[in-house]
Chain A
Amino acid sequence: SYVLTQPPSVSVAPGKTARITCGGNNIGSKSVHWFQQKPGQAPVLVIYYDSDRPSGIPERFSGSNSGNTATLTISRVEAGDEADYYCHVWDSSSDHWVFGGGTKLTVL
């Protein structure tokens, strides 16, 4: 089955740039989606189709995907960005949705 690998944690100072990676075999050939989840809340879509932003998501959130790594980039990080972030892909070989293990973003 397809596996997505994320770092368990990323720390960043306010105003700096956070990069959260999602590794998978030839993930560049798949569409990657990203969710933000704050404690006690449902996940919220922040990036879809590698780099598209839903309405209401700040331009500070961006995504890229190439080779074996997809990346969620959060520019000018704010305290309110502190959350868990998950990457997500559809694996057509197994007809399964797959989530990465999640990355806890800490704003120092």
Chain B
Amino acid sequence: EVQLLESGGGLVQPGGSLRLSCAASGFTFSSYAMNWVRQAPGKGLDWVSGITGSGSNTFYADSVKGRFTISRDNSKNTLFLQMNSLRAEDTAVYYCAKEEGPTPSYYFDFWGQGTLVTVSS
């Protein structure tokens, strides 16, 4: 059974940093691209970043490029999102999502339950 478990969310001040993790199980982690998607309170889904199964290629939404870094440790079946220079508008539930293929352009077949990031002073 595929399981994705996010952690690392919390309250952080504007300009601060946070590192999210997503522990994966139930599938061959390195064979699949992974993504982060966020959802601000009462708003829609917003794709943040993606990474190929090998980790060699990364992709970012324009709103986070240069501030967020996606990475993965295939030996530990874990996906990461390093978030720097956080802004109030980054406040959201952050989901990790598995892609059904090694690179982007397939589809998201499984999602975690999300972790809440709140950026506020």
Using CB atoms and an 8 Å cutoff, list the residues of chain A in contact with chain B.
1, 31, 33, 35, 37, 42-45, 48-49, 54, 84, 86, 88, 90, 92, 95-102
Residues of B within 8 A of A43 (CB): 45, 95, 108, 111
Q: Is B44 an interface residue (CB 8 A)?
A: yes
Name B62-82 residues within 8 Å CB distance of A: 62
* Minimum CB distance partner of A90 in chain B: B105
Q: A96 touching B112 by the CB < 8 A rule?
A: no
* Minimum CB distance partner of B43 in chain A: A102
What are 9 A-B residue pairs whose CB atoms fall within 8 Å in the complex?
A35-B45, A37-B45, A43-B95, A44-B111, A45-B107, A86-B45, A88-B45, A95-B104, A102-B45
* Minimum CB distance partner of B60 in chain A: A96
Q: A95 touching B107 by the CB < 8 A rule?
A: no
Main SS class of interface, A:
strand
Having A31-B105, A43-B45, A90-B104, one finds 8 other A-B pairs with CB under 8 Å, namely: A1-B62, A35-B45, A45-B109, A84-B44, A95-B59, A97-B104, A99-B47, A102-B44
Q: A42 touching B107 by the CB < 8 A rule?
A: no
Cα distance, A30 to B109, chains bound together (Å):
18
Q: B45 touching A33 by the CB < 8 A rule?
A: no
Q: A99 touching B105 by the CB < 8 A rule?
A: no
Render B27-58 as a binary contact track against A, CB cut-off 8 A, 1 for contact.
Answer: 00000000101000000111100100000000
